[in-house]
Amino acid sequence: MKKVIIFGASGSVGRSAIELAKANPAQFKIVGASAGSRFKGLKKTAAELNIKHVLDTRGEMTTEVITSFIAQCEPDIVLNAVSGFAGLRFTLATLESNLPLALANKESLVAAGDFVMALSQERRAPIIPVDSEHSAIWQCLINDRTEIKPFHKIYLTCSGGPFFGQTDLSTVTPHQALEHPNWDMGAGITIDSATLANKCLEFFEAMHLFEATKDQVEIVIHPQSVVHSMVQFADSSIIAQLSPPSMQLPIAYALNYPERSECGLPSPDFSALDLNFRTPDKSTFRTLQVLEHCAAHMQNLPTVFNAVNEEARNAFIRGEISFLRIFEILEAVTSQTRVKPLESLEHIYEVDQSARAMAKSLIHKP
Ligand SMILES: NC(=O)c1ccc[n+]([C@@H]2O[C@H](COP(=O)([O-])OP(=O)(O)OC[C@H]3O[C@@H](n4cnc5c(N)ncnc54)[C@H](OP(=O)(O)O)[C@@H]3O)[C@@H](O)[C@H]2O)c1
């Protein structure tokens, strides 16, 4: 039985993890959980499932507050399913507590990848990816359960989002962008999937998690979301991970690693399976051009990319800017940012704040 904390328990990933624990009471016991605006709902769930410790994240969330909450819960593993840059403190607090981290919050790695990976090594606290693509890559790379194997290339698959195949995105509304064809997710990541910013974040995430260079990661459009990513080895052999598009599997895999558990997912009918792969359209989905610039320089640029994207996409959700303006704001801020190394965690918070300020000034520009 694994004792689990779920940070971000009221969100899409958090609720999937709760369902998983409910369905497998002999495998998982939730010993702590957090929520913010939906804290009331979490309290109800906590009473139902006998979750002893709950954290209301609307208060000030310093790393110390989170660390002491973790200590009270005495977990075996922590799932970080908080959305956005705010998840970074939960990642740091978990690793500082020397605990394994099942990481859905990709923004931690995008904004502070070098620091997070170094802390994970220093504390011998492994990071097991929950993002379905990175879970797939992990499963391809570590299938003998010993160590990550040397690889030649990662093929990061991407559904293409709801606007795959379209070239004019000038009239896209928040309502249209919130309809993902294959996945049911929180609003932020759903819009990021429509702009392909999510794939850019995942690209940086893969570079950090698997120590890959930018040339070792290639984005491949795969509209069916059945192949969750692939890895090519020195002899040209490619290993892929396939499963129906459901977060249950990567969550269960991360929480139960290195064991595998029942997820209740159907087996594929191969005779009805039609799998396609395409090259991404960089001229329509201009986030991919911004990605090229940021990945070529790295340092502070992924932190800036993440901060600007969060601000611009939230403004789009609120109806303040158009869909295409998200691309323009990302292009403007990242191209105007001087490339500089990230010197400390405090510096990362400063870079995040100043990128947000630049993005906000462009959002509010008439
Ligand atoms: N959804 C998916 O299928 C999926 C797949 C792969 C990776 N991910 C990643 O997993 C993370 C969560 O995604 P999601 O779709 O589950 O998001 P979501 O549905 O929007 O849920 C976000 C969770 O984070 C909490 N939260 C938000 N801001 C917070 C803050 N400032 N401090 C503490 N907690 C905060 C929310 O609490 P309240 O709502 O109660 O305020 C909620 O519990 C993201 O990093 C996303 O990229 C998601």
Residue with tokens 């160590």, as numbered in its chain: 147
Burial environment of residue 270 by CB neighbours within 10 A (0 to 12, 13 to 18, 19 or more): exposed
14 vs 20: CA distance, rounded Å:
10
Convert the pLDDT of each residue in 206-254 to its tens digit: 999 999 999 999 999 999 999 999 999 999 999 999 999 999 999 999 9
* Same domain membership, residue 36 and residue 108: yes
CATH number at residue 314: 1.10.1740.10
* Same domain membership, residue 363 and residue 318: yes
Number of domains in the chain: 3
Ligand 1 pocket: which of 5, 6, 12 to mutate (most atoms within 8 A of CB): 12
* Same domain membership, residue 169 and residue 103: no
Q: Which residue segment(s) compose the domain that 108 sits in?
A: 2-129
* Same domain membership, residue 64 and residue 164: no
Residue with tokens 């859905």, as numbered in its chain: 104
CB distance 82 to ligand 1 below 6 Å: yes
pTM confidence score: 0.97
Among 129, 144, 176, where does a domain finish? 129
Helix crossing, 197-209 with 132-141: angle to 10°?
30
CB distance 14 to ligand 1 below 6 Å: yes
Closest C-alpha to 288, from 305, 271, 308, 264: 305
Nearest CA to ligand 1 atom 13: 83
Residue with tokens 């705010």, as numbered in its chain: 86
Q: List the beta strands (DSSP E) in 118-176.
A: 127-129, 153-158
CB distance 245 to ligand 1 below 6 Å: no
Nearest CA to ligand 1 atom 10: 104
For residue 181, the one-letter residue type is: P
* Same domain membership, residue 85 and residue 113: yes
Convert the pLDDT of each residue in 116-139 to its tens digit: 999 999 999 999 999 999 999 999
Q: Which atom of ligand 1 is nearest to the CA of 84?
A: 45
140 vs 90: CA distance, rounded Å:
27
Q: For Cα atoms 9, 260, 1, give the angle at the middle one, nearest 5 degrees.
A: 60
CB distance 229 to ligand 1 below 6 Å: no
CB distance 205 to ligand 1 below 6 Å: no
Q: Output the DSSP codes for 283-302.
A: TTSTHHHHHHHHHHH-TTHH
The 3-state DSSP class for residue 211 equals: coil
pLDDT band at 144 (very low <50, low <70, confident <90, very high): low
